[in-house]
């Protein structure tokens, strides 16, 4: 199975790679999976997840994320959440607010929560593939509250993003947050948005060795194996014990921006790598 979030460069390479292997015997079918909403946090119910649930379970998976210097054999997990605080709305000009008889500012409560959650450290066990990496707790990444300049905010929402290593879980992170927040004595609600576990495969898996072998022939060097900070839907296959390369593709930059670009000479080279890789691994 070849997975990608839909960037044109990788689609072109897969297509040409397929054409280049025509006429060669292949005892396995090749599936292409395209995800339409990759920014959902690598947990989209469409694309890869849908195919797996429909019984399309491959023997191996390759995700064509950009970058040809490294082969990604692991990726950090992620946990996203939302914290909600509730207050009492009141016009800032009425005497009841002036005297402190009515109104409660939900944004002020959130400010205290934000301060309390700064510097959260998540315990972890270092693995060889993730050497030098650590979990990262970021809060808030987005915040909203209030409806007008003259109204005490009745609610406030703030979002957080946590990057995880193997062994970390969403429940572990929530426990660390609750331990800090219970000291404040404030009413709040933590809502889970998504959780994706960190995963890794053996860097000496035949899938990886095959790609390294053909890459050396075409590119003149052997791409190193590394882990990735950003996530992909590769965890869905790794959790099913399917060997998965979580990133190797053409060089480029400006991801997700209006100026996103791909290096055309690299695109041509990686096209050949993909074609040779398919023939070598499946031949």
What is the distance between the alpha carbons of residues 230 and 99, in angstroms, rounded to a whole number?
A: 50
CATH 3.40.630.10 segments of the chain: 2-75+198-282
Task: Tally the residues of the chain.
Answer: 283
pLDDT at 22: 54
Query: Is the CATH number 3.40.190.10 carried by domain 77-196?
Result: no
pTM of model > 0.75: yes
pLDDT at 21: 52
- pLDDT tens readout for residues 48-80: 888 899 998 999 999 988 899 999 999 999 999
CATH 3.30.70.360 segments of the chain: 77-196
What is the distance between the alpha carbons of residues 264 and 247, in angstroms, rounded to a whole number?
A: 18
Q: Strands of the chain (E only): list them.
A: 2-4, 32-34, 61-63, 70-75, 77-86, 136-145, 155-164, 189-196, 199-200, 224-228, 244-245, 252-253, 261-262
pLDDT at 8: 41
pLDDT at 3: 47
CATH code of 2-75+198-282, in short, is 3.40.630.10
pLDDT at 272: 96
Q: Which residues in the chain show pLDDT less than 70?
A: 1-27, 37-41
């Amino acid at each position: 199975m070849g997975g990608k979030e839909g960037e044109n460069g990788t689609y072109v390479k897969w297509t040409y790679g397929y054409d280049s292997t025509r006429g060669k015997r292949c005892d396995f079918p090749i599936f292409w999976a395209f995800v339409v909403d990759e920014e959902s946090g690598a947990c989209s119910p469409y694309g890869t997840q849908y195919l797996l649930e429909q019984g399309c379970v491959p023997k191996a998976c390759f995700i064509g994320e950009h970058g040809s210097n490294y082969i990604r054999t692991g990726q950090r997990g992620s946990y996203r959440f939302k914290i909600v605080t509730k207050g009492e709305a009141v016009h800032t000009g009425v005497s009841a607010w002036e005297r402190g008889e009515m109104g409660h500012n939900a944004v002020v409560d959130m400010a205290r929560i934000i301060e309390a959650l700064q510097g959260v450290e998540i315990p972890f066990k270092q693995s060889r593939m993730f050497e030098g990496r650590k979990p990262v707790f970021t809060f808030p990444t987005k915040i909203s509250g209030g409806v007008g300049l003259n109204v005490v905010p009745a609610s406030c929402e703030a979002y957080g993003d946590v990057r995880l290593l193997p062994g970390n879980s969403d429940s572990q992170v929530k426990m660390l947050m609750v331990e800090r927040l219970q000291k404040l004595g404030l009413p709040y609600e933590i809502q889970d948005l998504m959780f994706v576990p960190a995963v890794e495969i053996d860097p000496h898996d035949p899938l990886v060795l095959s790609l390294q072998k053909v890459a050396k022939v075409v590119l003149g060097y052997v791409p190193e194996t590394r882990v990735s900070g950003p996530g992909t839907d590769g965890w869905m296959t790794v959790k099913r014990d399917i060997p998965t390369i979580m990133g190797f593709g053409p060089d480029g930059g400006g991801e997700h921006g209006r100026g996103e670009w791909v290096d055309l000479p690299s695109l041509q080279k990686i096209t050949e790598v993909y074609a040779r890789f398919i023939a070598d691994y499946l031949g």
